[in-house]
C-alpha cells in the first residue's frame, strides 16, 4: 500500500495528512472496528469452547451412568456369590469413572477457555464504550463479564466432578 493510500485509509480523506495515532483523532474508527472485531471473535471462540465443554460434560455424564450400572451389577453378582464377576464389574466401572473424570476435566478446561475469551471480549467492549460513549458497548462489556464469571464457576464445578470421579474410582479399587 502506498503512503498516500495509507494516509487516505487512516484519515478517511484524500487531501489531508495522516492523523497522529496517539491523538486518537483519525484512528478511532479503525481502532473501534478492530476492537469490535476482536470482541466478536472472542465471543465466537467462547461459544465454540462452550460447545466442546458441553460435549465433554455429556461424555462424563454418560460414563458416570455407565459406571453406576457396572457397580450395581457388581453388587448383584456379589450377592449371588460370583465375586470374580463382581470384581470384573468393579474394574469396568472404575474404567468408566476414569473416562468420566477425563470428560469433566476437559469440560473444565473448555469452560475456562470460554471464560478467558469472554473476559477479553468484555475488556474490548469496555474500551469501545469508553471511547465511543456507547451504552450498547457498556452493556456488552457487562454481559461478557457476567458470562465469563459463569463459565469460570462451571469450570470449577467440572474440576470438582472430575476429582470426585477419580476419588470414587480409587475408593472402589480399595473396596475390591
pTM of the model: 0.74
> What's the distance, CA 139 to chain centroid?
21
Q: What is the mean pLDDT of residues 91-107?
A: 94
**Per-residue pLDDT at 174:** 58
Name the band, by pLDDT with cuts 50, 70 and 90, for residue 172. low
Name the band, by pLDDT with cuts 50, 70 and 90, for residue 70. very high
Q: What is the mean pLDDT of residues 50-75?
A: 95
Q: 18-55: b or e for each residue (b if 16 or more CB lie within 10 Å)?
A: ebeeeeeebbeeeebeebbebbeebbebbeebbebbee
Name the band, by pLDDT with cuts 50, 70 and 90, for residue 30. confident
Between 4-8, 26-30, 166-170, the lowest mean confidence (pLDDT) is in 4-8
CB distance 62 to 102 below 8 Å? no
- The C-alpha angle with vertex 96 and arms to 51 and 170, in degrees rounded to 5, equals 115
Q: What is the mean pLDDT of residues 132-137?
A: 84
**Per-residue pLDDT at 31:** 82
Name the band, by pLDDT with cuts 50, 70 and 90, for residue 79. very high
- Per domain, the residue ranges of the chain are 53-175
- The C-alpha angle with vertex 36 and arms to 31 and 41, in degrees rounded to 5, equals 125
Backbone dihedral region for residue 12 (phi beyond 0: left; psi -120 to 50: alpha; all else: beta): left
Q: What is the mean pLDDT of residues 13-19?
A: 43
**Per-residue pLDDT at 22:** 37
Rounded mean pLDDT of the chain? 83
| CA 64/CA 72 separation, integer angstroms | 12
Q: What is the mean pLDDT of residues 2-10?
A: 44
Residue length, the chain? 176
CB distance 129 to 57 below 8 Å? no
Name the band, by pLDDT with cuts 50, 70 and 90, for residue 7. very low
Amino acid at each position: 500500500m502506498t503512503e498516500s493510500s495509507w494516509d487516505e485509509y487512516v484519515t478517511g480523506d484524500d487531501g489531508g495528512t495522516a492523523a497522529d495515532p496517539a491523538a486518537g483523532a483519525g484512528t478511532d474508527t479503525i481502532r473501534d472496528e478492530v476492537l469490535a472485531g476482536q470482541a466478536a471473535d472472542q465471543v465466537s471462540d467462547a461459544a465454540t469452547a462452550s460447545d466442546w465443554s458441553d460435549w465433554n460434560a455429556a461424555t462424563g455424564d454418560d460414563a458416570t451412568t455407565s459406571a453406576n450400572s457396572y457397580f450395581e451389577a457388581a453388587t448383584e453378582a456379589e450377592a449371588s456369590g460370583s465375586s470374580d464377576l463382581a470384581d470384573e464389574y468393579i474394574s469396568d466401572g472404575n474404567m468408566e469413572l476414569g473416562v468420566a473424570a477425563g470428560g469433566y476435566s476437559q469440560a473444565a478446561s473448555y469452560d475456562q477457555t470460554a471464560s478467558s475469551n469472554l473476559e477479553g471480549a468484555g475488556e474490548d467492549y469496555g474500551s469501545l464504550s469508553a471511547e465511543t460513549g456507547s451504552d450498547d458497548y457498556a452493556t456488552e462489556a457487562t454481559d461478557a463479564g457476567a458470562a465469563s464469571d459463569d463459565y469460570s464457576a462451571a469450570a470449577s464445578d467440572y474440576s470438582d466432578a472430575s476429582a470426585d470421579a477419580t476419588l470414587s474410582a480409587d475408593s472402589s479399587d480399595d473396596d475390591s
